[in-house]
């Protein structure tokens, strides 16, 4: 029988990392303390315990312990300290006159490292800033430059649809998105309408693309000759939500909308 593993997530929409439960009775939703490459961290069980569903590099690190009430209290203290650290970062950036925008702060559960995230137009020489911050917090300090999509994921917000950003709630990885996907979905190519708050093409163009591709298999190709209840014509468009096809009729050049089941390709 395969050794069961647990999948642990450290952020709301972060990647899932697998650990050996080490005989602990764990279930989805439990807080756990684990050792990572960054140090000792707090995470939540989101998968398992169950046999690994994918090939994992052995040996896996074991879960140190199930989180206690003291651990949760310590975590709350760290969150308050992160807010303080962010204010310090703002002041230090202003003092050094650096062209960078602070985004967030993370302190490892064991307090051995503080990671400051920022965005900037180009490269920034922040060596003096690191030394300044290290003298304030007396621990290891790392400044990490991130892109605008990671900034949106970290800060959160509402999309054009009115819902919370996918990247901040459930989308764990960013995949390439192209303007072709917007064309295939018959969307306006106005950048303001197909871009997210990060300024990049919306991620939903990618994960909705497969749905459009499957749906289009039921429809005649745009520009093809078809027969409709009103006579012969050529297709000019489709509406997969209404299950209809737009056809320019041969006789009068009018464009009419027909249910897809009433249109047959010639």
pTM: predicted TM-score of the whole model, two decimal places: 0.78
Cβ atoms < 10 Å from Cβ of 182: 21
Say yes or no: 87 and 112 in one domain.
yes
Token pair 């949760």 in the structure block, residue: 72
Q: What is the CA radius of gyration of the chain?
A: 26
Residue 1 has pLDDT above 50, yes or no: no
- Taking a C-beta distance cutoff of 8 angstroms, is the pair 27, 183 a contact? no
- Report pLDDT for 85: 97
- Taking a C-beta distance cutoff of 8 angstroms, is the pair 126, 95 a contact? no
Helix (H, G, I), strand (E, B) or coil at 168: helix
- Report pLDDT for 187: 86
| Phi-psi map region of 187: left, alpha, beta (phi>0 left; psi -120 to 50 alpha) | beta
Is 201 a member of any domain?
Answer: yes
Say yes or no: 16 and 52 in one domain.
yes
Is 166 a member of any domain?
Answer: yes
- Taking a C-beta distance cutoff of 8 angstroms, is the pair 156, 165 a contact? yes
Residue 134 has pLDDT above 60, yes or no: yes
Residue 200, domain extent:
152-211
- 131 band by pLDDT with thresholds 50, 70 and 90: very high
pLDDT in tens, 152-195: 999 999 998 899 999 999 988 898 999 999 988 878 899 989 99
Domain-ending residue, one of 106, 129, 146: 146
Residue 57 has pLDDT above 70, yes or no: no
Is 220 a member of any domain?
Answer: no
pLDDT in tens, 190-213: 998 999 999 999 999 998 888 888
Closest of 233, 237, 234 to residue 245, by C-alpha: 237
Helix (H, G, I), strand (E, B) or coil at 47: strand
Cβ atoms < 10 Å from Cβ of 60: 17
Domain-ending residue, one of 51, 67, 83: 67
**What percentage of the chain exceeds 90 in pLDDT?**
66
Number of domains in the chain: 4
Pairwise CA distance, residues 160 & 60, whole Å: 41
- Report pLDDT for 185: 85
């Amino acid at each position: 029988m395969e050794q069961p593993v647990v999948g642990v997530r450290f952020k709301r929409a972060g990647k899932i990392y697998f650990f050996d439960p080490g005989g602990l009775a764990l279930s989805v939703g439990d807080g756990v303390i684990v050792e990572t490459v960054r140090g000792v961290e707090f995470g939540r069980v989101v998968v398992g315990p169950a046999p690994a569903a994918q090939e994992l590099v052995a040996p896996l690190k074991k879960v140190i312990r199930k989180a206690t009430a003291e651990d949760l209290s310590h975590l709350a203290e760290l969150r308050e300290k992160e807010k303080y650290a962010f204010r310090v970062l703002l002041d230090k950036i202003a003092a050094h006159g650096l062209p960078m925008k602070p985004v967030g702060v993370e302190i490892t559960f064991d307090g051995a490292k503080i990671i400051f995230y920022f965005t900037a137009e180009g490269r920034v020489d922040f060596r003096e800033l690191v030394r300044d911050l290290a003298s304030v917090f007396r621990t290891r300090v790392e400044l990490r430059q991130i892109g605008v999509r990671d900034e949106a994921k970290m800060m959160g917000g509402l999309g054009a649809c009115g819902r919370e950003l996918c990247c901040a709630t459930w989308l764990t990885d960013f995949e390439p998105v192209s303007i072709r996907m917007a064309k295939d979905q018959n969307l306006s190519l106005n950048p303001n309408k197909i871009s997210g708050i990060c300024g990049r093409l919306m991620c939903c163009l990618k994960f909705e693309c497969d749905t459009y591709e499957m749906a289009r298999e039921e429809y005649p190709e745009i520009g093809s000759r078809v027969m409709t209840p009103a006579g012969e014509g050529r297709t000019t468009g489709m509406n997969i939500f209404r299950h209809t096809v737009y056809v320019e009729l041969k006789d009068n050049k009018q464009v009419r909308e027909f249910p897809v089941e009433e249109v047959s390709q010639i």
